[in-house]
Structures are given as structure tokens and as C-alpha cells.
Amino acid sequence: EAGVTQSPTHLIKTRGQQVTLRCSPISGHTSVYWYQQALGLGLQFLLWYDEGEERNRGNFPPRFSGRQFPNYSSELNVNALELEDSALYLCASSLAWNYGYTFGSGTRLTVV
């Protein structure tokens, strides 16, 4: 069984640009979660999608957004990139909100 896959693995963007990160959950998992792991700040919850809807959102500005597609894959979009957006972005999936997570290996975003 394929795990949670994220693409790309690494990305370098310029301040002010926009970026899209992608996540494919484990087959059968309907919930997708996004976390930001910035150096020195630990893992911070970004977004939770379930059945195509945004269910919960962390304390991030509106320029962080995303969506979930009918096949349960998900995109995370970040507009107007800032230097402090440089981080590892982790995606996780689960069967439902109260089931355990499985994490992907993340996308390393560097903003210069």
C-alpha cells in the first residue's frame, strides 16, 4: 500500500511569489492535514480537509489556503511568499478525524 506522497520534495521560491504543494493520501483516507515545521518553531497545524471541505484551520494568515479534490488529494497554496514561510510542509492523512495519522515525507520550501 502506497503511503502519503507529497510533491515536490524540495522547492526554492522568491519572496512575493506563489507556491502550490501537493499531497496524495493513503487510499481510503478521506481526511488530509497540513502542518508547517519551521526551524525553531516546531510543528504548527495549518489546515484540515475532510470530504472535500475545510474543517479546521490553524492560526495562519489567509494567504495560506488549500483545497481537497474528489479523489481526496489536496493542495496547499501560499501566496505572497515571505522569508519566514521557509519550512518543511508536512501532509498527513487518516480514515477519519479520530483515527491515527500517517505522515508524508514533506516538501522543503525555501524562500529567498
Partner 1 sequence: AQTVTQSQPEMSVQEAETVTLSCTYDTSESDYYLFWYKQPPSRQMILVIRQEAYKQQNATENRFSVNFQKAAKSFSLKISDSQLGDAAMYFCAYRSAQETSGSRLTFGEGTQLTVNP
Residues that bind partner 1 (CB under 8 A): 31, 33, 35, 42-43, 45, 48, 50, 55-56, 58, 88, 90, 92, 97-98, 100-106, 108
Nearer to partner 1, 28 or 100 (CB): 100
Cα(11)–Cα(2) distance, integer angstroms: 23
Min CB(48)–partner 1 separation in Å: 4
Cα(9)–Cα(2) distance, integer angstroms: 17
Nearer to partner 1, 16 or 52 (CB): 52
Pairing outcome for strands 107-111 and 10-13: parallel
Nearer to partner 1, 10 or 28 (CB): 10
Min CB(22)–partner 1 separation in Å: 16
User: Which of 76, 57, 58 lies closest to 66 in space, CA to CA?
Assistant: 76
Pairing outcome for strands 64-68 and 53-57: unpaired
Min CB(12)–partner 1 separation in Å: 17
Min CB(109)–partner 1 separation in Å: 13
User: Could you tell me which residues are beta bridge partners of residue 37?
Assistant: 43, 88
